[in-house]
Structure 1
């Protein structure tokens, strides 16, 4: 059982989380009563075979998608009890996002993109924290550049800084290195890891890459919409071996 009741030390948790697409012959159970907790100050990777529900789990846990039954909590806040306005405010104020697509506004500078969510919320970032985040991701000399003047790796650094600058309760990253070469991907993963180990940030990352998962503190493996295994202090080789086992079971089931 991977579930822990949300309490002190738990950044987010799901209980009996179920998500179904379609009906009748086209009915697909994407999440099947998933119970899982993400501890504060921990870097968790979510992995599994294609179609196992990992991105659906992240989207439901982050309040980006609805679910059919069960519960999702960010800290002690139950997402199912929030209306659209409250959910929008929670995502803006307490959750950071990093996606495979950088999602930067091309007309804004790197600094303006980093601070945009706080600007929309009518808040100013803490100057010292902003300087720390910008320095950590190596953007100090690029803040006046627009996305078109930055490499893919630099654009993703902007996205990481944007996710961290508001000091969210949790950062969700969906395949954050999918559009990057191996060197730029390693840099971005290193920044996410450093944000956890140096500042206590909580990060949950969906990935298919065993090398990326090796940066995490633990890996949760999904199959057929359910958590089926967990690995602490993962290495790419151990993750790859377990993924091969899950793929083999998926093909023979």
Structure 2
């Protein structure tokens, strides 16, 4: 897959179907002297069936981009779409419904309910929505993340890596159009982190899932099909088929203040 640059900070793949799309997306916090431009006219496509990592120095806008694309934060100007749905056109109730029905979330904190079993945590979003899970799909998800023997265990009976696997399965179970992960392995040791990243990789390869993950770890990013780099609120690079070494080499191009060289 090749990419074309349409303007500074805009790397848009020229093939494939977009599961999510930002067009000239800007996010500004504050006013006057306290104004901070977190995102500066960012345009990017996240393609169906692809695993994308978002990287950049602290304050580069990577988490802000993910939060805006996931409908967790408002945007100041431009466009953010999930499929063909424009997020800025949705009122709160419709936005909540879209997040519930079309988006999966995985964060550093596992966010599991301690009184529920692993399976009950996995199906909780669908239970709240009054939807019955697709049993065949649920079985595939559980098998993919390796939880078949732990479904009756509560979070306190699971390791950190196993708890995050439950969180991954929960995100996958409702068959969302896209999954967003914000440092999903940030609280895990290297072995558990590698397991979770492997499960995300398999969910893309075997289940056709779309995953967008914010990370600061070159090894984590190497599991992705593609890495986009932000600096100063703009996309400054787009690497296909990344390796840990190629990501690390690109990161060396950022100075101590997070600017790209």
Regions of 4+ moved over 4 Å? 3-8
Inter-partner Cα distance in structure 1 for 2:59 and 2:138: 38
Residue 205 of structure 2 is aligned with which of 197, 206, 210? 197
Residue 246 of structure 1 deviates from its aligned partner by 2.1
Inter-partner Cα distance in structure 1 for 2:116 and 2:92: 28
Query: Contact 2:53–2:215 at 8 Å: present in 1 too?
Result: yes
Residue 247 of structure 1 is aligned with which of 237, 252, 255? 255
What secondary structure is seen at the aligned counterpart in 2 of 1:116? helix
Inter-partner Cα distance in structure 1 for 2:256 and 2:189: 28
Residue 5 of structure 1 deviates from its aligned partner by 9.5
Length, aligned pairs only = 253
Residue 137 of structure 1 is aligned with which of 131, 135, 145? 145
The match for 2:233 is 225
Query: Contact 1:18–1:68 at 8 Å: present in 2 too?
Result: yes
The match for 1:89 is 97
For residues 168-200 of structure 1, the C-alpha deviation after alignment (integer angstroms, 9 at most, x for no partner) is 100000000000000000000000000101111
The match for 2:187 is 179
Residue 250 of structure 1 deviates from its aligned partner by 3.4
Residue 161 of structure 1 deviates from its aligned partner by 0.1
TM-score between both structures, scaled by the size of structure 1: 0.96
The match for 1:48 is 56
Query: Contact 1:7–1:76 at 8 Å: present in 2 too?
Result: no
* RMSD of aligned alpha carbons: 1.7
* Correspondence list, 1:16-165, <5 A: 16-165=24-173
Query: Contact 2:177–2:209 at 8 Å: present in 1 too?
Result: yes
* Structure 2 segments unaligned to the other structure (5+ residues): none
Alignment of 1:236 onto 2:244: yes
CA separation of 1:8/1:229 partners in 2, compared to 1, >3 Å: closer, same or farther? closer
Query: Contact 2:60–2:258 at 8 Å: present in 1 too?
Result: no
